[in-house]
Amino acid sequence: MPFRVLCLVVLFSWNYCQADLPWPPNNNYPLNNYKRFSDSTEYKIDSFFRKYYKTGIFNGTYLFFSNDSLLQGALGYATFPQYDTLINDDLFQLASVSKTITGISILLLYQDGLLGIDDSVHWYIPELTRRNLTIRHLISHKSGLPDYFYFSSALWPWQNKHMTNSDVVTQVNQQSYRAFAPPGLYYDYSNTNFALLALIIERITHMDFRKYAELNVFNPAGMKFTHINYFDSIPLKNYPVQGYERKRIYGDIPQNGTTGDKGVYSNTVEMFMLDRALRGSYILHQGSKDLMWSPQTLTGENSYYGMGWRMKWIGGKKWVFHNGWWKGFRTYYWRCLDEDKCFVVLSNNVYGSFLSTTDMVALLE
């Protein structure tokens, strides 16, 4: 049995037993209502990705949308040893693009009156020894907490056991005072922040963050196959799309057990469906979205971090976005708030540099 078919059988069998989500079949999504771009625009977009595919920098799928026109594409392989050709519907690890889901989830709880953005983190995680932290500090990367990626390996002796978000708290508590910066002083991107946000969501809702996101974000947006990985149930090696660098596969590691900062699996179409849902008020009301996409801290020239989203003004238009990198996956999710435009680019190869997001925005001009 071919490797790709075997993976699908394993996933479908697990989902049949667990009543969870199967892997999407090819051409599962009705996209006939959208028009094609002009021939010149399609050629421009496809040529951009073919150029980087030929140089070995890009291997993945992409979707570009503007007004009523849509273009999808897939180049390369899901697994290099088997050379299984990628299809548009394939699910990729979103890496830090997952933080947008955490941001939406926090704003949902804020919208429902279950938390305040300036609530003390200590109210929800009393065992955290670091004080004077608020949810705003976490969600805007101004907490001063060190990134658990840089110390978790040394503090985690079980290489075959996944960490949890509660384990991150334990490890943060083991850090010396010199590892922390004063809360609210400056922007310092840290995955610890979003692991703690996911833990806060779990403690407020008494629900695993995976389930909360499924019920309150993915299902309302029609994202039938998007999910947060749980490799204790579906091992990483069984996923049809694997992450690579120079055709070297990335294996499972203990940090794959934490959520909030990474871990969402989705495809270009379902992330486009999330874009459609966020254009209306079915998931988040306009006031909640305005808060989520409000600049909280300066990250660069004309660039800011909001609440789980980055933002930048390009040509006078406001774009909200997130990029990601995690163990063989590079991801890009960009949405224009002032025009009906977005693009999703997912790659399972991290060889070479990141793609130029400025150039990708220009593809829709």
Distance of CA 134 to the CA centre of its chain: 23
Of 195, 271, 194, 263, the C-alpha closest to 229 is 263
Read off the tokens for 10.
């394993």
pLDDT in tens, the chain (365 residues): 334 444 443 443 333 333 355 678 777 788 889 999 999 999 999 999 999 999 999 999 999 999 999 999 999 999 998 899 999 999 999 999 999 999 999 999 999 999 999 999 999 999 999 989 999 999 999 999 999 999 887 888 888 899 999 999 999 999 998 889 999 999 999 999 999 999 999 999 999 999 999 999 999 999 999 999 999 999 999 999 999 998 899 999 999 999 999 999 999 999 999 999 999 999 999 999 999 999 999 998 889 999 999 999 999 999 999 999 999 999 999 999 999 999 999 999 999 999 999 999 999 98
SS3 assignment, position 308 = coil
Q: How many residues does the chain have?
A: 365
Domain boundaries, the chain: 3-362
What DSSP letter does each residue of 179-221 carry, written as one string? G---TTSS----HHHHHHHHHHHHHHHTS-HHHHHIIIIITTT
Strand boundaries in 226-338, DSSP class E: 227-228, 244-245, 248-249, 264-266, 297-300, 303-305, 310-314, 317-326, 329-336
CA geometry: angle at 281 spanning 280 and 284, to 5°?
120
SS3 assignment, position 22 = coil
CA geometry: angle at 14 spanning 10 and 17, to 5°?
140
Whole-angstrom CA distances from 102 to 49, 197, 210, 352 are: 29, 7, 10, 29
What is the CATH number that goes with domain 3-362?
3.40.710.10
Residue 34 amino acid letter: Y
Half-sphere exposure of 227 (CA within 13 A, CB side): 18
Residue 2: its pLDDT value, please?
38
Rg of the chain in Å (alpha carbons): 20
Residue 40: its pLDDT value, please?
97
Paired residues of 73 in beta bridges: 62
**Rounded distance between C-alpha atoms, residue 293 and residue 337, angstroms:** 10
Residue 334: its pLDDT value, please?
98
Strand 92-93: give its sheet, edge to edge.
92-93, 264-266, 227-228
Residue 22: its pLDDT value, please?
62
